[in-house]
Amino acid sequence: MRSPCASCVSPDGQQVFCVSTLVHPNTACAAGIGTGMIAELLLSGVIRKPGVWSPEQAVSTSLFEAAMQSRGVEIQQQLFPTPSRHPFEVPSAVFH
């Protein structure tokens, strides 16, 4: 699975665009691992947020990456310095 992320900030403070690729040999397992991870973190008390939250709000990036790695899921990331170099950008001429 590959998805463009929201803009983020590089270690040197520059705005960049991040593309993350989730790598796992079984797509069905990979899709369920995230849900299971959230359930486990809730039941173990690691996540203690009352109410309804999106996964991105409930789990920090570092916790998510560690949990995915512990389950054999690799996350590859590419950083792009400007929106014009973003690999998912589609020229407006395509829609004319």
d(CA 23, CA 21): 6
Query: How confident is the prediction along the chain (96 residues), in pLDDT tens digits per residue?
Result: 444 455 577 778 878 777 888 888 888 888 889 889 999 999 999 999 888 988 888 888 889 889 988 998 888 888 777 665 555 554 444 444
Three-state secondary structure readout of 44-87: CCCCCCCCCCCHHHHCCHHHHHHHHHHCCCEEEEEEECCHHHCC
Per the structure, the complete domain to which residue 46 belongs is given by 2-95
Phi, psi of 33 (to 5 degrees): -60, -40
Q: For the chain, what's the residue count?
A: 96
Is 71 in contact with 37 (CB distance < 8 Å)? yes
Q: How many domains in the chain?
A: 1
For residue 62, the Cα-to-chain-centroid distance in whole angstroms is: 10
